[in-house]
């Protein structure tokens, strides 16, 4: 396993890319409303990244081995869609929940973050949907809190799994967080389940995403014919939140924070 540890200067560049990715989510939030198509959200985000921020959208035409080129600039996963949802012309409805996943490239460095939105506001969604979104956000931050030099990747997964299952939810196994830097996806893989003390030991300079995908029903998932969109097999709701982090000498820095990012729930 080849893991690239970043210098302080390189992390500073990633901090810029990460903040810009978060600011795309800040920008798009007012547009996430009933009647808008996810293809329109994609167009707005693309134009903002390219025309305003001077960034490149990393997902556009991204084609890892075995996948067709991804056709859009963001991922939009609605209701029972787990991740990698491809934007389309279907209008969002009041009460839908949607994850918007943004990855920017700025000066060769990647910033990767995602956020949950409720179409029409929290009052429009079910109690279950709101609870799933809240618990998944808590899972993200519990995973982040486990990051420090000398900790293990298993500590992150264990914290997330314990919290999700305590609330009656399940953790998707097939998809995970990942190293990130000049490449969209690097080592290590960051599982969202596991045992404390297992796996790679964390050292300063590591940069990776934590992006738990939590299902209201069973953990099993399947892929739609578009070759990208992942859904829950039982069609239960799914939620995801994501930040890019760096392991520091003192602990952890979240690189994708922006002015409009929902705060750490333990500090709000």
pLDDT in tens, 160-219: 999 999 999 999 999 999 999 999 999 999 999 999 999 999 999 999 999 999 999 999
2 is a domain residue? no
Beta partners for residue 25, in sequence order: none
Residue 112 in any domain: the answer is yes
pLDDT at site 2: 85
- The rounded percent of the chain whose pLDDT value lies above 70 is 99
The CATH number of the domain holding residue 113 is 3.90.230.10
The answer to whether residue 263 is domain-embedded is no
pLDDT of residue 95: 98
Q: Is residue 3 part of a domain?
A: no
Q: Chain-wide mean pLDDT for the chain?
A: 97
Q: Which pLDDT score is estimated for 1?
A: 65
Q: How far apart are CA 171 and CA 156, in angstroms?
A: 13
Q: What is the pLDDT of residue 96?
A: 98
Strand, helix or coil for residue 161: helix
Decide: pTM greater than 0.85.
yes
Whether 230 has a pLDDT exceeding 80, the answer reads yes
* Structural domain containing residue 216: 8-254
In the predicted structure, residue 268 carries a pLDDT above the cut 80: no
Burial 198-236 (b: 16+ CB within 10 A, else e): ebbebebbbbbbbbbbbbbbebebeeeeeebbbbbeeeb
Considering its fold, how many domains does the chain have in total? 1
Looking at residue 190, its pLDDT comes to 98
Two structure tokens written together for 50 = 């390219």
- Tell me the three state secondary structure of residue 28: helix
């Amino acid at each position: 396993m080849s893991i690239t540890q970043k210098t302080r200067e390189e992390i500073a560049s990633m901090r810029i890319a990460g903040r810009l990715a978060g600011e795309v989510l800040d920008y798009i939030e007012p547009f996430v409303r009933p009647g808008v198509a996810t293809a329109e959200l994609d167009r707005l985000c693309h134009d903002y990244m390219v025309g305003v921020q001077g960034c490149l959208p990393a997902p556009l035409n991204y084609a890892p081995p075995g996948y067709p080129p991804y056709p859009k600039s963001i991922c939009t996963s609605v209701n029972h869609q787990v991740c990698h949802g491809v934007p389309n012309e279907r209008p969002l409805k009041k009460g839908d929940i949607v994850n918007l996943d943004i990855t920017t490239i700025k000066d060769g460095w990647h910033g990767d973050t995602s956020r949950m939105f409720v179409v029409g506001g929290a009052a429009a969604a079910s109690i279950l949907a709101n609870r799933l979104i809240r618990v998944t956000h808590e899972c993200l931050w519990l995973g982040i809190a486990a990051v420090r030099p000398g900790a293990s990747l298993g500590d992150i997964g264990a914290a997330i799994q314990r919290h999700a299952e305590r609330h009656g939810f399940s953790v998707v196994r097939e998809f995970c967080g990942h190293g990130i830097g000049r490449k969209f996806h690097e080592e290590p893989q960051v599982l969202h389940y596991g045992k404390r003390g297992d796996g790679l030991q964390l050292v300063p300079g590591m940069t990776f995403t934590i992006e738990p995908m939590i299902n209201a029903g069973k953990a099993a998932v399947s892929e739609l014919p578009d070759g990208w969109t992942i859904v829950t097999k039982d069609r239960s709701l799914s939620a995801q939140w994501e930040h890019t982090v760096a392991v520091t000498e003192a602990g952890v820095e979240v690189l994708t924070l922006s002015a409009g990012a929902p705060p750490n729930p333990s500090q709000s």
